[in-house]
Amino acid sequence: MPSLLQLDQATIRFGGLTAVAELDLQVGRNELVGLIGPNGAGKTTAFNLITGVYQPTSGKIYFDGRSIAGSPPYRITARGIARTFQNIRLFPSLTVFDNVRAVFHLHLRGDVRHALWRGQGFHAEEKSISDRVMELLELFQLGKFRNEPAKSLSYGDQRRLEIVRALAAKPKLLLLDEPAAGMNATEKVELTRLIQFIKDQFQISILLVEHDMKVVMGICERIVVLDYGVKIAEGKPDEVRANPKVIAAYLGE
Amino acid sequence: MNFRYAKTVLLGTIALGFLASLFASRINPYWLFIFYDIGISIVMAVSLNLINGYTGQFSLGHAGFMAVGAYTSAVITNQFGELNVFAANAIFAVALLAGGLAAALAGLLVGIPTLRLRGDYLAIVTLGFGEIIRVILQNLDRVGAARGLSVVHGWTNLFWTFGLGAVTVYVVASLVNSTYGRGFIAVHDDEVAAGAMGINPTKYKVTAFVVGAFFAGIAGGLYAHAKQFLTPGGFGFMQSITFVVMVILGGMGNTVGVILAAILLTLLPEGLRMLAGIDHLPGLAAERPLGWIGDTRMIIYSLLLIGLMLTRPQGLFAFRQQRK
């Protein structure tokens, strides 16, 4: 079976700088892949390539068998790739509930006319959306904050809410950009459990960018290592850990 | 909140406006015109609030859209002579709609090329657009150029102003208070995140501009047939600023607050004018003891605005801390 996400020689240059060079990357269905590398290795740039924030200078990106290079971000999300951000980007003035609800417009059957006419169909649909939003929030213990503005949540809860918001898009592939950043040891253990739980519960693929080795080694089935925009290693956690190139990249020679 | 009874309230308000218009002949014409002004300000401020408040775009060209609607509807109704009440109202409805559509088209034309701009840059482009409209009208002999355009029919009444005010509030509130409409606020908060969540920011911004411009055009039509005389200078930059002030004073993205601010800011200059006009106060010898208010009316108005902004930057009527 072809992989869900496939990057073929994806390259992006900013002026003279090649941020990501000829990257080959595959993510299979219901697979959890880690993308690691030292600071400035191009991990987030690779994310931005996949999600359409940047267009590749050359190379191809396929998702679910179709090319997505050149599509705008909102269309790629509709195809089934949802993401979180390294520095949390919730909608701060919306409530916790509305942050998730806003994403549900992807699954709306009616359009603007529906909202303007406000007939039975509209109210029924809004009710069903509300139920599904609450179900998601409860699943991640955020239900009690439903009417709080998103910006008033604690840091850890905001991170979790961002993941919930991404899941509301019903993605086939979830991209997590450094979800453990700024977390303490206990929170990291919880996060590891959470990611495992999401993968099992929703049966989706996850691509994880992370600095923290413990988190990555603990849960990823396969790891891809980037350094200066080039893939230097790929394999199972143990293989990668023992790879001299990886050690050199992280610790220096 | 989904406002289950929104449609009932809308129809109720329109009916009330109709009843009020039947008794219009008993209302002092001075007050009648102030009521028209209030209704028009509500339409302008609430529609601008969709653009500036909810969607977070900074438009300084709302009076330009109003001018497009005013002149379009006036040119249409000026083709007709005296008509019976039904024909007059039917023609008026068509003219208002045409004015709204012309303004919406202008909104689309401004929107598409400019909406990649943000913040200050967008403000400057919309400001430029407003000025272009004004200058075009000033040089268009067909509509009287700088001499102005007389509007034959004074068809604006309480039914049309308050009915259309209610429609504007209904449409904006319905748009925003729905799953679809949370997208406007999402775009306001974080465009990149909105895009990553499947929301097309450009589409939402253009929608806000087109809907906002449409109602500004309708307000222009009401204005034209209330004042019965249009000059390009009446739709200048200062006029746009007045509506922006209403939106900011009411609290960006707070429809009730913006309605109250529109009422207050329309009444305030009139109230000051009235104070100044009082001829005699018991116990005071001077003929017009408060006459100085007349001379300094606009200064007092400006000082009040500064004071309000210093003491309530979140908006005068923003009681809920829900939005920033």
Residue A172 C-alpha, separation from nearest chain B C-alpha, in angstroms: 14
Q: What is the pLDDT of residue A218?
A: 85
Percentage, residues of chain A above pLDDT 70:
99
Reference B73, options B8, B153, B132, B130; nearest CA is B153
Q: What is the pLDDT of residue B278?
A: 62
B6: confidence class by pLDDT, cuts 50, 70, 90: confident
Q: What is the pLDDT of residue B321?
A: 45
Q: What is the pLDDT of residue B279?
A: 58
Answer whether A102 sits within 8 Å of B323, measured CB to CB: no
Q: What does pLDDT average to over chain A? A: 90
B288/A contact by beta carbon, under 8 A:
no
Q: What is the pLDDT of residues A1-24, one digit of tens each?
A: 578 999 999 999 998 888 988 999
**Burial of A139 from C-beta contacts in 10 A (0-12 / 13-18 / 19+):** middle
Q: What is the pLDDT of residue B303?
A: 86
For residues A216 and A221, what is the distance between their CA atoms, to the nearest angstrom? 9
Q: What is the pLDDT of residue B23?
A: 85
DSSP state of A17: E
- Tokens encoding B214: 């449409």
Residue B240 C-alpha, separation from nearest chain A C-alpha, in angstroms: 26
Residue A236 host element (H or E): none
Percentage, residues of chain A above pLDDT 90:
59
Answer whether B188 sits within 8 Å of A90, measured CB to CB: no
- Alpha-carbon distances of B305 from B51, B260, B268, rounded to whole Å: 22, 15, 11
Domain boundaries, chain B: 6-236
- How much is the ipTM here? 0.90
**Burial of B147 from C-beta contacts in 10 A (0-12 / 13-18 / 19+):** exposed
- Tokens encoding A54: 């940047």
For residues A173 and B32, what is the distance between their CA atoms, to the nearest angstrom? 61
DSSP state of B320: S
Averaged pLDDT, A19-43: 90
Q: Higher confidence at residue A160 or residue A113?
A: A160
Angle at B148 between CA B147 and CA B149, to 5 degrees: 135
Interface test with A, best of B54, B170, B179 (most A CBs within 10 A): B179
Helical axes B237-250 vs B62-77, angle rounded to 10°? 120
Q: What is the pLDDT of residues B157-212, one digit of tens each?
A: 899 999 999 999 999 999 999 999 899 999 999 999 999 999 999 899 999 999 99
Of B4, B197, B201, the CB nearest to A123: B4
Decide if B189 contacts A92 (C-beta within 8 A).
yes
Of B7, B194, B321, the CB nearest to A118: B7
Provide the 10 A C-beta neighbour count for residue A49: 26
B324: confidence class by pLDDT, cuts 50, 70, 90: very low
The residues, ordered by sequence, that sit 6+ positions from B5 with a Cβ below 8 Å of its Cβ are none
Q: What is the pLDDT of residue B323?
A: 42
Contacts of A95 in chain B (CB under 8 A): 322
Decide if A90 contacts B193 (C-beta within 8 A).
yes
Angle at A126 between CA A122 and CA A128, to 5 degrees: 120
Which residue type sits at A226?
A: L
Q: What is the pLDDT of residues B277-323, one digit of tens each?
A: 665 555 555 566 666 666 677 787 788 878 887 887 777 776 554 44
- The distance from CA A1 to its chain's CA centroid, rounded to whole angstroms, is 23
Answer whether B195 sits within 8 Å of A74, measured CB to CB: yes
- Tokens encoding A182: 């700024």
Residues 189-218 of B with CB under 8 A from A: 189-190, 192-201, 207
